[in-house]
A and B are shown apart, each in its own frame.
Chain A
Amino acid sequence: DVKVTQSSRYLVKRTGEKVFLECVQDMDHENMFWYRQDPGLGLRLIYFSYDVKMKEKGDIPEGYSVSREKKERFSLILESASTNQTSMYLCASSSQGATGANVLTFGAGSRLTVL
Chain B
Amino acid sequence: GNSVTQMEGPVTLSEEAFLTINCTYTATGYPSLFWYVQYPGEGLQLLLKATKADDKGSNKGFEATYRKETTSFHLEKGSVQVSDSAVYFCALTASGGSYIPTFGRGTSLIVHP
- Chain B residue numbers with a CB within 8 Å of A42 are 89, 103-106
Given contacts A41-B105, A42-B106, A43-B103, contact A106 B43 (CB under 8 A): yes
- Chain B residue numbers with a CB within 8 Å of A105 are 45-46
Interface size on B, residues (CB 8 A): 27
| Complex CA–CA separation, A50 to B97 (angstroms) | 12
The answer, among A58, A90, A101, for a CB contact under 8 Å with B32, is A101
Q: What distance in Å separates the Cβ of B76 from its nearest Cβ neighbour in chain A?
A: 21
Q: Which of A12-20, A63-71, A73-81, A92-100 binds B? A: A92-100
A101 and B89 contact, CB distance less than 8 A:
no
Q: Which of B36-63 contact A (CB under 8 A)?
A: 36, 41-46, 49, 51
A100 and B30 contact, CB distance less than 8 A:
yes
A100 and B32 contact, CB distance less than 8 A:
yes
Given contacts A100-B51, A100-B95, A101-B32, contact A109 B43 (CB under 8 A): yes
Residues of B within 8 A of A (CB): 30-32, 34, 36, 41-46, 49, 51, 89, 93-101, 103-106
